[in-house]
Amino acid sequence: MKRLLLLLPILLLMASCFEQERKCTDFKNGKFRFEHEIDGKKKVTLFERTDRLEIETFEGKTDTSTVRWLNDCEYILQKVHAKSAAEKKAVHMKILTTKGNSYTFEFSLVGDTQKQKGIVTKIN
């Protein structure tokens, strides 16, 4: 029992040192697929990102946004041809973890505390 009590802090320390994989630079450029659910229906967004632009296609409509990288894992998206005040708001994107050809991310309007999460798959 004493051995178990001595091992427990060591195991907890080792577990706290575990860090999720985050190879964000692998996802700065390329073609991607984002599947999400809206009103109970599966929707797909395809997009291509370069260092400075992201071109997104959703339900047959294409939008272009500028990309401003804050660091290797965070960037700001700003629509180029915004048609409303809501579309003019920038979106903060943060890659949380990476695994193989996909990454988990969170996003929110800049300044908003309410965040959403999703998973993106690189398709090229």
What is the model's pTM? 0.80
Tell me how far apart the alpha carbons of residues 122 and 118 are, in angstroms, rounded to a whole number.
13
CATH architecture, range 28-122: Beta Barrel (2.40)
Which residues have C-beta within 8 Å of that of residue 15, sequence separation ≥ 6? none
Q: How many residues does the chain have?
A: 124
List the domain boundaries for the chain.
28-122
Q: Return the SS3 of 117.
A: strand
pLDDT digits (tens, 9 = 90+) for 33-77: 999 888 999 999 999 999 899 999 999 999 999 999 999 999 999
The reported pLDDT for the residue numbered 28 is 95
Q: What is the pLDDT of residue 15?
A: 53
Q: Which of 41, 27, 22 is nearest to 121 (CA)?
A: 27
- H or E segment and range at residue 6: helix 2-16
Residue with tokens 């050809």: 101
Per-residue confidence (pLDDT) for residue 21, from 0 to 100 = 74
